[in-house]
Structure 1
Amino acid sequence: MSMQLILVLVILFGLLLVGSPVVMAIGTAAMSYFVFKPDMLGNLMMYAHRLFTGMDSFIYICIPLFMLSGELMGLTGLMDRVVDFCRIFVGRLRGGVAYVNVLASMLFGGISGSALADIAALGPIEISMMEADGYERDFAAALTATSAIQGPVIPPSIPAVMFASLTAVSVGGMFIGGVVPGIMLGLGQILVIFFLARKLHFPKSDVRYSAKEALLITLKSFSAIFMIVIVLGGIISGVFTATEASAISVAYVLLLDLLVYHKLKPRDLWSSLKNAATGSASIFLIIGFTSIISWILTMESVPLMINNWVAAANISPYLLLFLVNLFFLFNGMWISDSAQLVLFAPIFAPIFQQMGIHPIHFGVVMVVNVMIGLITPPFGVGLYTAASVSGCELKDIVKASLPFTASCIVVLLLITYIPNLVLMLPWLAGYI
């Protein structure tokens, strides 16, 4: 490993540790390579070239479009209907509103593909609902943050799209491979709520729905839930691609509002477009700058060095998966999910494939892992977002989120060492 590469990594991790914005840290570290490496300053055009080619992928168009569909669903009131639909099934149980939080995030995850969109759109609704029912506000914020991470695992999934584009794996295969792990994350959180509900005496709702009321709520929420069927059904059946599905999801919400709800105003549409643009712009910049770092690592033969080290050490695939999981969890404390995917997916995916690990299996494991990074301090972006929408102290949210984070890590270990939990549905769907 050259001294120039060591300096790049020191600058990158040093800036991240002192709290520099991720985009600034990655961009500065990448630029330093051209400054320190002899004869590279004359090739500075490569910096700009790699920046734009890293973002120049047709499939990435789905990122702002899925974000936009989530924004529009929040404004049209479709998410309120999803919450009401979840109340029918679990609202009467002790801790029922907490269960509703998890189920609503599970359904919303099948629409936006973004954890932060889930927290921003559903967070105010869920936190206010739980606080009104007698829950501590910091607990409600912690549950909102942790339940949101199943969203980018259950399809459609923006991180899955990124992994697929970086490793030439089928997007449809990644999507359907994330179904069971995503549901397992939700079930793990529900199990935690079940035990806490009895220990902490969570409130129990007395609201009961008649058959007629339940049917009416189901009919009202059908339009929101049917969107999941359209997106997933179209992708799995091959009728349209993930990018086309994202455009169809936006068109579906707009058409639904135009014909039925009539809630969107021009200023709301502008606000949604702006939020989707700014949210996806940060992801695109991270992808662009991180692709420069990935190019630098390739130039310095880092993937080959790691491959040779693994071969020489004669490490079993599952021991290496364990070590890589620890590596990703550690990095997740200060590196964003997007940055980890772009940096490490092209390096590790070929190594595991050579060792007999199916790329869809590794891809889903990596996506779940980097999603857990959103709720690990000190720089878990999901925790900061939950603190922002709730007004709670970050330390209180972190403390309340620990049991849920532990359940997520248990699910991560299960899908790591039981590959069929990931691969069964892609095999049935013909992707394997």
Structure 2
Amino acid sequence: MFLILALVFILVLLSLGSHVSTSLGLVSAVLVLTVSGVPETVIAQTAFKSVNSYPLVAIPMFIFAGNLMMRGQIAGLMIDLVGSIVRAVRGGLALTVLIASVFFAAVSGSSVGSAAAIGRSTVQGLRDEHYPPRFAAAIVAVGGTLGLMIPPSLGFILIGSIVGLPIDKLFVAGVLPGIMEAALLSFATFWLSKRGGYGAKAQQPDWQGFARNFPRALPALLMPILVLGSIYAGFMTPTEVSAFAAVYAMLLCLLVYRSVTLGGVWKVALESMLQTTMIFAVVMGGSLLGFILTRMGISATLVSGLQHMGLSWWEFLIVVNVVLLFLGMFLDGIALIVLTAPLLFPMAQALGIDPIHFSVIMVANVEIATLTPPIGLNLFVMSGISRIPVHEVARGVVPFYAVRLTGLALISFVPVISLALVH
């Protein structure tokens, strides 16, 4: 009952325009004051402890690196490089957008950031090749979601910090699911483009253009290879890699491409700091709520109730996916993770579900949440960039929901996709 009331009050506050962190903090503070034997100092102590975490240091660094790469006009470079070959097929520019999204996913770790970077460089070009405006916006919005699955993923960093899982293993676990999702989206894009007759088609691949663009793009292409390779080989921890990525991105933009000035770096640093502050505020509010619900015995009650229901692991995953998809309509990805991870992971482990596999399932749900109205952030980002109403972007995304749900089902019920590279 307390859990349902807490969720209802949070949704009411959000509907009134309150920030997610404020809603979580207010509801948590009220619960703390109503539980006997819990001192008020717990509020400050829990909030501080939740962000006083070494793994969380990676978040501002990856955000800074991703923002720099977005400001550095590198998206256009990737579009030219990939497009010189891919645009020889029907829907080539749309496929180029998805492939470029994979690159930015491996740089920024952010769904919204990837969509914004690619969208500014491609929306007008897609329209010029007679792609419908809502289809063009939807392609970028859907491609941007890959930034949550393909490492370095901010979602995996949050989950690892909250439930105590090794972030390097979570990163590795996201590689194959991310590639699978990109392949499914690419196939759907090709089919929809061919059926609708969208996009111009080059006579043949421009290998000369590829050879001309490759040397200039190579330093940027090396970044995800160095980041992921260092983690996979065990040379650096995710936190150390995040610092390396930030420095590497700054050197690229300042010295190699000369696309950002020192003043621009400072502005990017300030923006990244503000974004990090918002994320950490949500983490503090969610951690406090998780603490007080645990103190009230709700987590133990849920696990006990689950055991009495006699659900199998696959039945439990169906229920979890339905619940997360529903909550994703009202909560952004960070709030969804922070609010549900402390409650769901003990239940999953009680049924013998691998926690790393379950982490990938949660991130796959968060990807879909960024595309789900009325809160889907990628819809609003692409609405602003493409200058069409949010509901039009959402209509463009509809054909891709089936693809995303198919990917979610495969990730949920075929654990080897997530665990093949981990174990």
Q: TM-score range by the shorter chain?
A: over 0.9
Structure 1 unaligned residues grouped into runs of 5+: 428-432
TM-superposed deviation, 1:35: 4.3
Residue in 1 aligned with 2:25?
27
Contact residue 81 and residue 209 of structure 2 kept, 8 A: no
Residue of structure 2 aligned with 1:163, choices 159, 163, 171: 159
Q: Which amino acid aligns with 1:136?
A: P
CA distance, structure 2, for counterparts of residue 275 and residue 131 of structure 1: 30
Residue 252 of structure 1 pairs with residue 238 of structure 2: no
Amino acid paired to 1:293: L
Structure 1 residue 83 corresponds to structure 2 residue 79: yes
CA shift for structure 1 position 189: 1.5
State whether residues 250 and 265 of structure 2, in contact with CA within 8 Å, keep that contact through their aligned partners in structure 1. no
Letter in 1 for 2:9: I
Query: Within the alignment, does 1:13 sit opposite 2:11 as a pair?
Result: yes
Query: Are 2:309 and 1:313 aligned?
Result: yes
SS at match of 1:382: helix
List 4+ stretches of structure 1 deviating above 6 A: none
Structure 1 residue 7 displacement after superposition:
4.3
Structure 1 Cα separation of the partners of residues 5 and 44 of structure 2 = 21
Equivalent position of 2:61 in the other structure: 65
Alpha-carbon distance between aligned partners in 1 of 2:166 and 2:37, rounded to the nearest angstrom: 39
Q: Which residue of 1 aligns with 2:119?
A: 123
Contact 1:146 1:405 in 2 (8 A): no
Q: 2:195 aligned with 1:194, yes or no?
A: no
**Distance in 2, Cα, partners of 1:207 & 1:221:** 24
How many angstroms does 1:208 deviate by?
4.9
- Structure 2 residue aligned with 1:392, among 355, 380, 388? 388
CA gap of 1:211–1:396, structure 2 versus 1, over 3 A, is closer
- Equivalences for 1:27-66 in 2 at 5 Å? 27-37=25-35, 43-66=39-62
Cα distance change on mapping 1:18 and 1:402 into 2, 3 Å? farther
One-letter amino acid matched to 1:254: M
1:367 correspondence with 2:350:
no
Distance 1:214 1:13 in 2: 50
The answer to whether the 8 Å contact 2:60/2:276 transfers is yes
2:286 maps to amino acid: T
In the aligned structure 2, how far is the partner of 1:411 from the partner of 1:347? 24
Contact 2:85/2:210 (<8 A) preserved? no
Q: Does 1:299 align with 2:295?
A: yes
Aligned partners of 1:288 and 1:271: how far apart in 2?
A: 26
Is 2:399 the counterpart of 1:419? Answer: no
Query: Matches of residues 395-414 of structure 1 in structure 2 within 5 Å?
Result: 395-414=391-410
Alignment of 1:278 onto 2:267: no
Contact 2:69 2:253 in 1 (8 A): no
SS in 1 for 2:148: coil
SS at match of 1:375: coil
Residues 125-144 of structure 1 aligned to structure 2 (within 5 Å): 125-144=121-140
Distance 1:84 1:210 in 2: 10
Which of the numbers 379, 383, 386 marks the counterpart of 2:379? 383
Contact persistence 1:79–1:224 (CA under 8 A): no
Give the whole-Å Cα distance in 2 for the aligned partners of 1:350 and 1:137: 44
Corresponding residue number in structure 2 for 1:430: none
For residues 313-332 of structure 1, the aligned pairs below 5 Å read 313-332=309-328
Separation of aligned partners in 2, 1:215 and 1:305: 61
What is the CA–CA distance in structure 2 between the aligned matches of 1:37 and 1:350, rounded to whole Å?
Answer: 23
Number of the residue aligned with 1:111: 107
Cα separation, partners in 2 of 1:37 and 1:6, compared to 1, 3 Å: farther
User: Matched residue of 2:370: which SS?
Assistant: helix
- Report the residue type matching 1:11 in the other structure: F
Task: List gaps (5 residues or longer) in structure 2.
Answer: none
Q: What's the counterpart of residue 181 of structure 1?
A: 177
Distance in 2 (CA, whole Å) between partners of 1:237 and 1:426 is 12
Q: Compute the TM-score of the two structures, normalised by the length of structure 1.
A: 0.93
Per the TM alignment, residue 86 of structure 1 is displaced from its structure 2 partner at its CA by 1.7
Question: Offset at 1:17?
Answer: 4.0
Q: Secondary structure at the match of 1:425?
A: coil
* Farther off after superposition, 199-208 or 417-426: 199-208
Counterpart residue type for residue 211 of structure 2? L
Q: Tell me the distance in 1 between the aligned counterparts of 2:249 and 2:310.
A: 53
What secondary structure is seen at the aligned counterpart in 1 of 2:321?
A: helix
- What is the DSSP-based 3-state SS (H/G/I as helix, E as strand, rest coil) of the residue aligned with 1:239? coil
Following TM superposition, by how much is the alpha carbon of 1:335 offset from its aligned partner in structure 2, in angstroms?
A: 1.0
- Per-residue CA deviation, residues 22-43 of structure 1 (Å, 9 max, x unaligned), is 2222122122224444575xx3
Query: Structure 1 CA distance, aligned partners of 2:5 and 2:36?
Result: 13
CA pair 210-184 structure 1, distance change in 2 beyond 3 A:
closer
Residues 126, 199 of structure 2: 8 Å contact kept = no
Per-residue CA shift, 1:352-400, capped at 9, x if unaligned? 2232211111110111111211110111112112212222101101111
Residue 19 of structure 1: how far off its partner (Å): 4.5
Q: In structure 2, what is the equivalent of residue 265 of structure 1?
A: 261
Partner amino acid for 1:395? H
Q: CA deviation at 1:239?
A: 0.8
Deviation sequence 1:269-300 (CA, Å, 0-9, x none): 12211221122211111011111110111011
Shifted more, 152-161 versus 131-140: the winner is 131-140
- Residue deviations 1:217-251, cap 9 Å, x none? 12221111111111011111111111111110111
Q: Distance in 1 between matches of 2:398 and 2:143?
A: 12
| 1:342 paired residue number | 338
